[in-house]
Amino acid sequence: MRCEQIQELLLTDHLDGRLRRSEQEKLAVHLRNCTTCREFAGIAKATLLTPFLEAEQLTPPERVWQEVRQRIVAAPRRSCNPLRAFLGKLLLPLPVARQPALVCAGLVAVALLTAILMRPPYYGSGPSAVSHAKPIDYAAILTGEDEVDDEGEGLDTDIENYFL
Amino acid sequence: MPEIPHDIIMAAAQGDVAAFETIYRGCAGMVYTTALRITNNRECAAEVTQEVFIAVYRKLPSFAFRSSFTTWLYRISVNAAINQVRKRAMEKGHTVAYDEQTMAEHTATPATDALEREPTRQLIARMLAALNPDQRACIVLRNIDGLSYEEIAITLKINVNTVRSRLKRAREKLIAMRAREVRHAV
Ligand SMILES: [Zn+2]
């Protein structure tokens, strides 16, 4: 193996303990005979492994829990509907959006307006002219009740649903 | 990674806020630290931590224990942090410089110990700052959180070869950076 290939292994599979035994032996032979790669191996270990061994776990400020607690106590459980998340994202910069009751009222108003605007025209030929197709359940959409709740196993939180 | 008892998760899934607080107390450090290392910024890390736990609370009723709870939580956290970095980069139109004080200020370590550890903490901060977000995520997941290439691939939704090449490029950068620093010091 050339020095370049050896150094690639030193930076990846060797450093991360992924080399097969046969590769490990070839590498050892090369290192015995090559000062440059031997030095490189030492630098790689000291630079790329050692500092991280002392990495510590940090603690978030207490206000994070206070905020989480407030939000989960205040908000209904099933609210990870993408439409709602999208609307929430649109509304969030507005100060008014920080009042849950106002947001709800706003959402209901939007839903009603949408329902009214999307209603088929009524030409006055009796009740039978009104569409009998299954009505869209706007309330369900807004509360997330229409959601086909998929498996919680995957990365399907609302954060990911609308960011990914 | 912290382990959370099954019955605590079940209780939290049924809306028990005290049980959910137990989960938060057990896992917030992991979520916040990972978010902080990936985002570079205390405010962003706090925001990610908050959003992750709120999302998790809402999703708990559909969590089916096919993977461990903390693995699930960890994956959500990593991706939320990466999304936060991307969002912030788009908003500001550039990558924000690494907040080196970040690591020093929000630590659970007692003060006396903190002083001795200072150089390492700053070194880690400086190293992570030298990387782009994708490389940084790979280094954090591999070197700090100890994930295998395969686990990183699943978490970041990339293939194993990409994990390897990102680690390689990140480490080349880090070695070059350290070499420059050593030359300057001499
Ligand atoms: Zn060589």
Q: What is the C-alpha to C-alpha distance for residues A93 and A98, in angstroms, rounded to an integer? A: 9
C-alpha separations of A34 from A7, A39, A45 in Å: 11, 9, 17
The mean predicted confidence, pLDDT, of chain A is 69
pLDDT band with cut points at 50, 70 and 90 for residue B120: confident
Between B105 and B180, the more confident residue is B180
What does residue A75 show for φ and ψ, rounded to 5 degrees?
-95, 145
User: Which chain A residue is nearest to residue B126, measuring alpha carbons?
Assistant: A51
Q: Are residues A7 and A47 in the same domain?
A: yes
Its ipTM equals: 0.81
Mean pLDDT lowest among A6-15, B75-84, B92-101, B151-160 = B92-101
Q: What average pLDDT does range B63-88 have in this prediction?
A: 91
CATH of the domain at B126: 1.10.10.10
Count of domains observed in chain A: 3
Q: How many CB pairs under 8 A join A and B?
A: 161
Tokens representing A140?
């369900």
Q: What average pLDDT does range B67-76 have in this prediction?
A: 92
Count of domains observed in chain B: 2
B61 touches chain A (CB under 8 A): yes
pLDDT band with cut points at 50, 70 and 90 for residue A92: very low
The last residue of a domain, from among B63, B97, B131: B97
What does residue A58 show for φ and ψ, rounded to 5 degrees?
-105, 170
Q: What average pLDDT does range A55-84 have in this prediction?
A: 80
- B128: helix, coil or strand? helix
Q: Which pLDDT belongs to residue B172?
A: 97
Tokens representing B132?
């782009």
Is the pLDDT reported for residue B148 higher than 80? yes
Is the pLDDT reported for residue B90 higher than 50? yes
Count Cβ atoms below 10 Å from residue B49 Cβ, excluding itself.
30
Domain extent at residue B35: 1-97
The last residue of a domain, from among B67, B97, B127: B97
Q: Which pLDDT belongs to residue A118?
A: 65
Q: Ligand 1 center to residue B128 CA distance, Å? A: 28
Q: Are residues B13 and B89 in the same domain?
A: yes
Domain extent at residue A141: 127-163
In a domain, B143, yes or no: yes
> Which residues of B are less than 8 Å from A79 in CB distance?
58
CA distance B149 to chain A (A): 9
In a domain, B102, yes or no: no
Task: Report the percent of chain B where pLDDT is more than 70.
Answer: 86
Most B CBs within 10 A among A10, A23, A52, hence the mutation to make, goes to A52
Q: What average pLDDT does range A91-102 have in this prediction?
A: 52
Helix (H) or strand (E) holding A69: helix A62-74
Q: What average pLDDT does range A30-51 have in this prediction?
A: 95
Q: What is the C-alpha to C-alpha distance for residues B9 and B5, in angstroms, rounded to an integer? A: 7
Q: Which pLDDT belongs to residue B138?
A: 97
Is the pLDDT reported for residue A142 higher than 80? no
